[in-house]
Amino acid sequence: MNKYIEYSVEVKHALDNNLPIVALESTIISHGMPYPENVKTALECEKIVRDNGSVPATIAILNGKLKIGLSKEEIDFLGKKALKIVKTSRRDIAYNVANKIDGATTVSATSYIASLAGISVFATGGIGGVHRGAETTFDISADLEELAETKVLVVCAGAKSILDLGLTLEYLETKGVPVVGYGTNVLPAFYCNQSDFLVNFRIDTPKEIAEVFNTQLLLNLRGGMLVTNPISDLYSMDKEVIDEAISNAIIEMNKEGIKGKETTPYLLSKIAEITKGDSLAANIQLVYSNCRLASEISVHLNKLK
């Protein structure tokens, strides 16, 4: 296994000295935002993690290696290559490594690779979930199954609002994944901090979240935990505005015949276009907030371990 993994100096030092670490995904760099905002955002995410007491470990697949911790040059490479970098889910990992195909890791792939290194906390923007119309298409993100299998706490701003939030929650409940609302009883809806759905548990401090997750680990319960962190009121978008933008984007996507793993990048780009950049600004701010919270949780969890 070790021949496939390559750590940055910073992450290796953190692992050797039992320092708190936060995993970060790379799909947000190559598929989530345009250049150069993607690179600026990724570097700022790492800074926020450091400023709040943890070590950032941005994860990707480069030249046949599972890279845990990236250099600025590697992050810039992913940002510039953008959609030419293969969006990599768990199912793609072995193929991409064997064929030395550069890959930007999704939530599922990042969670799995983080777990190989013993990293227990991961910050992202929003998770994938059950897509609208999944009762006929069976389009369900691998992120959900990974949450059910891998012992990693994932901090996000809820499921992406392009999804069916109700069915996503039902799937997570069936798989036994606890969904925590950070300071809220309501499932955040990515761009918007409100929805019509309730989380399983409300927890108001990073320390308490760490204590519950540590207990989950000690009890050897299967799978991870989803911590949903609502976007602040300052950046939260009006629900009617974003819902209309999503509906229009889905109509355009269906006209274009876009399906599968290209769905999310297309919709995020189209929604940003429709909202004249407002959704992109919200996306960036919610990611920063998630990195801050994940770093704080990681610090407390590290003390408990």
Which member of 67, 87, 160, 270 is catalytic?
160
Whether 10 is a known active-site residue: answer: no
Whether 207 is a known active-site residue: answer: no
Which member of 25, 46, 74, 146 is catalytic?
25
Neighbouring residues of 34: CB distance < 8 A, sequence distance ≥ 6: 82, 269, 280
For 30, 40, 188, 218, 266, the CA distances from 279, given in Å and listed in that order, are: 17, 17, 15, 39, 14
Q: Contact, 59 vs 26, CB < 8 A? A: yes
Measure the CA–CA gap between 157 and 170, rounded to whole angstroms.
18
Measure the CA–CA gap between 250 and 234, rounded to whole angstroms.
27
List, in sequence order, every beta strand (DSSP E) within the chain. Answer: 5-7, 21-24, 55-62, 65-68, 86-88, 103-105, 121-123, 153-156, 179-182, 201-203, 225-228
Neighbouring residues of 68: CB distance < 8 A, sequence distance ≥ 6: 5, 6, 7, 8, 11, 23, 57, 59, 113, 114, 117, 119
Closest residue by Cα to residue 164 from 190, 143, 141, 133: 133
CA dihedral 68→171→293→266, nearest 10 degrees, is: 70
Q: Which residues are catalytic?
A: 25, 160
